[in-house]
């Protein structure tokens, strides 16, 4: 059976202790590869390699770094079909989605930050004719990047690209649930001529290798995307070590539909916002608030559209809705459907595990599920489910819509659907979220700040925010 190995000091290597985890294909429920379950020994090797590589890489010319990173981006594009298939097998997502979103964005991330590095500049502050301050922004040294399973290569590259482009040596850990494309990517790093030790990829569980990465004294910054509970744990572990921390955590994102929206377009996009990637996107709009005067009309059109989503084998090009990522995640989502009914919710469509024939008969498929009749305070509307479930709720006034939208511990993303320009700006200003989309969803410009407020995280990724996170500012004051 294929083994997924680490990438340390420019080479693909087996884990020192020889421990492996099973890797399951979500669409079939079958083990199809084995994953290195790394530990401290592997980490020490990776840190030693990063230590040896960091100064040379950090002092190399921006053009050189950008050239290597662009070569890596080109290699992702050249291998897009293979990578998309690997992502669909490993994660359960539809292959057309994997290609159009995951793999497309992975190379875009790397190319974007390769160019960002060549354009990055630091500040200067003149003090009249007394002095001039200038700020140096040097690489931090060795940084850790820990990524989740919902966008395996996309979020992995979203972190390592700015870390590398700004001159750091990186220890990266992809999710143990979806390690395959990071493994394939390590081979592309060798092909692209990335210098040894500049990037080290360690596979394994959060407990076995994620924890040791976050607490290692030589790793000076941690960029993490994952669950809020894990983020809180990492914040605690790293607090006393004064590491730089960027945490992109969960969401329970509101979608506000006003009666004056473009109806058809809104229905289509709100379906996409709720169910893309089987609802397993931290940005998905899972609480949908609809102005009462169009509630029934919107509900009917929305439910019809959702019930038409084609569930199928992720490798089938016509599939729109693939498998959820694991048995345990599927069980968690199904338990929330049960809970929603106990809390008084009515299922309008979906509500069950979807059973298939043939290759996928043991797959982890869940029907796209729409629920109404719940209040805002119930657990279904407060907790991040991270699956193909959304709730519909009516509202009467803009003020009420805002109170409902802001009524959770999360504050990552939101979308507002209206043709009233003044209202759009007014609501955007008052929503407690790091990201507000007006009449769109997941329209991304990689230069913009990305991240959340409240329990959705600390810090921002994207553009200059990421370049600043991965560099250490030092002010130099020169008296004339």
CB atoms within 10 A of CB 478: 9
> How far apart, in Å, are the Cα atoms of 362 and each of 13, 29, 218, 359?
33, 5, 44, 8
Q: Which of 152, 182, 181, 179 is nearest to 170 (CA)?
A: 182
Residues 332 and 401: their CA atoms lie apart, in Å, by: 29
Upper half-sphere CA count for residue 212 (Cβ side, 13 Å): 21
Work out whether 149 is an interface residue with ligand TXE (CB under 6 A).
yes
Work out whether 368 is an interface residue with ligand TXE (CB under 6 A).
no
> How far apart, in Å, are the Cα atoms of 374 and each of 62, 415, 432, 467?
54, 20, 22, 43
Work out whether 79 is an interface residue with ligand TXE (CB under 6 A).
no
3-state secondary structure of 403: helix
Cβ 227 to ligand TXE shortest distance, Å: 3
Question: Encoding tokens for residue 230?
Answer: 């894990």
Residue from 214, 255, 414, 471 that binds ligand TXE (CB under 6 A)? 214
Residue from 141, 210, 314, 463 that binds ligand TXE (CB under 6 A)? 210
Residues 242 and 130: their CA atoms lie apart, in Å, by: 34
Nearer to ligand TXE, 266 or 456 (CB): 456
| Dihedral sign from CA coordinates of 260, 263, 267, 269 | negative
Residue with tokens 């002010």: 475
Point out the catalytic residue in the list 87, 248, 367, 384: 248
Residue from 227, 373, 407, 449 that binds ligand TXE (CB under 6 A)? 227
Residues 420 and 257: their CA atoms lie apart, in Å, by: 12
Question: Encoding tokens for residue 250?
Answer: 């969960």
Nearer to ligand TXE, 282 or 433 (CB): 282
The site that binds ligand TXE (CB under 6 A) totals a number of residues, namely: 25
Cβ 197 to ligand TXE shortest distance, Å: 22
Work out whether 175 is an interface residue with ligand TXE (CB under 6 A).
yes
- The region of 14-22, 148-156, 267-275, 472-480 touching ligand TXE under the rule CB under 6 A is 148-156
Beta strand 413-417 with 435-438 is parallel
Residue from 23, 91, 150, 200 that binds ligand TXE (CB under 6 A)? 150
Residue from 10, 162, 197, 226 that binds ligand TXE (CB under 6 A)? 226
Active-site residue, 248 included: yes
- The region of 27-35, 191-199, 202-210, 287-295 touching ligand TXE under the rule CB under 6 A is 202-210
Beta strand 142-146 with 169-173 is parallel
- The region of 78-86, 145-153, 389-397, 461-469 touching ligand TXE under the rule CB under 6 A is 145-153
Binding mask 378-417 for ligand TXE (x = CB under 6 A): ------x-x-------------------------------
Indicate left, alpha or beta for 121 from its phi (over 0: left) and psi (-120 to 50: alpha): beta
Work out whether 233 is an interface residue with ligand TXE (CB under 6 A).
yes
Question: Encoding tokens for residue 35?
Answer: 């994953």
Work out whether 282 is an interface residue with ligand TXE (CB under 6 A).
yes
Work out whether 25 is an interface residue with ligand TXE (CB under 6 A).
no
Work out whether 230 is an interface residue with ligand TXE (CB under 6 A).
yes
Q: What is the DSSP string of 205-271?
A: -IIIIIHHHHH-TT--EEEEES-HHHHHHHHHHHHTTT-EEEEE----EEEEE-TTS-HHHHHHHHH
CB atoms within 10 A of CB 448: 13
Cβ 175 to ligand TXE shortest distance, Å: 4
Nearer to ligand TXE, 166 or 214 (CB): 214
The residue at minimum Cβ distance from ligand TXE is 206
Active-site residue, 384 included: no
Residue from 73, 249, 370, 390 that binds ligand TXE (CB under 6 A)? 249
Work out whether 176 is an interface residue with ligand TXE (CB under 6 A).
yes
**Residues belonging to the active site:** 248, 282
Write out the residues near ligand TXE by the rule CB under 6 A. Answer: 146-150, 173, 175-176, 205-206, 210-211, 214, 225-227, 230, 233-234, 248-250, 282, 384, 386
């Amino acid at each position: 059976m294929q083994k997924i190995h680490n990438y340390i000091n420019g080479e693909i290597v087996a884990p020192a202790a020889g421990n492996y985890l099973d890797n399951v294909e979500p669409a079939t429920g079958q083990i199809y590869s084995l994953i290195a379950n790394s530990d401290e020994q592997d980490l020490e090797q990776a840190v030693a390699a990063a230590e040896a590589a960091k100064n040379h890489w950090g002092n190399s010319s921006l053009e050189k770094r950008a050239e290597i990173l662009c070569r890596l981006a080109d290699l992702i594009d050249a291998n897009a079909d293979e990578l998309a298939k690997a992502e669909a097998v490993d994660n359960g997502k539809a292959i057309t989605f994997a290609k159009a979103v995951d793999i497309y964005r992975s190379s875009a991330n790397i190319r974007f930050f390769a160019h960002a590095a060549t354009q990055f500049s630091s500040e200067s502050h003149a003090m009249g004719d007394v002095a001039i301050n200038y700020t140096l922004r040097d690489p931090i040294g060795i940084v850790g990047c820990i990524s989740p399973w919902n966008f395996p290569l996309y979020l992995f590259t979203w972190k390592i690209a700015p870390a590398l482009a700004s001159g750091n040596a990186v220890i990266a850990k992809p999710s143990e649930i979806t390690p395959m494309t990071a493994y394939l990517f390590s081979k592309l790093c060798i092909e692209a001529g990335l210098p040894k030790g500049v990037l080290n990829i360690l596979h394994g569980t959060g407990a076995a290798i994620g924890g040791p990465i976050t607490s290692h004294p030589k790793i000076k910054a941690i960029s993490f995307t994952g669950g809020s509970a894990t983020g809180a744990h990492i914040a605690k572990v790293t607090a006393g070590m004064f590491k730089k921390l960027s945490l992109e955590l969960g969401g329970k994102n509101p979608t506000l539909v006003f009666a004056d929206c473009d109806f058809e377009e809104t229905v289509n996009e709100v379906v996409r916002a709720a169910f893309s990637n089987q609802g397993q996107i931290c940005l998905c709009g899972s609480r949908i608030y609809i102005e009462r005067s169009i509630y029934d009309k919107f509900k009917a059109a929305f439910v019809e559209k959702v019930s038409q989503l084609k569930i199928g084998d992720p490798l089938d090009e016509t599939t729109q809705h693939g498998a959820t990522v694991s048995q345990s995640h599927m069980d968690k989502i199904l338990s929330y459907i049960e809970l929603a009914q106990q809390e008084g919710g009515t299922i309008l469509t979906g509500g069950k595990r979807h059973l298939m024939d043939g290759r996928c008969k043991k797959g982890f498929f869940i029907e796209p599920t729409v629920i109404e009749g719940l209040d805002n305070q119930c657990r279904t509307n407060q907790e991040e489910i991270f699956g193909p479930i959304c709730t519909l709720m009516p509202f009467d006034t803009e003020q009420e819509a805002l109170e409902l939208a802001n009524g959770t511990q999360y504050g990552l993303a939101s979308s507002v659907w209206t043709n009233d320009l003044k209202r759009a700006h007014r609501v955007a200003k008052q929503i407690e979220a790091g990201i507000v989309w007006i009449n769109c969803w997941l329209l991304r410009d990689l230069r913009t700040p990305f991240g959340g407020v409240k329990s959705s995280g600390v810090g921002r990724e994207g553009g200059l925010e990421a370049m600043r996170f991965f560099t250490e500012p030092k002010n130099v004051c020169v008296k004339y």
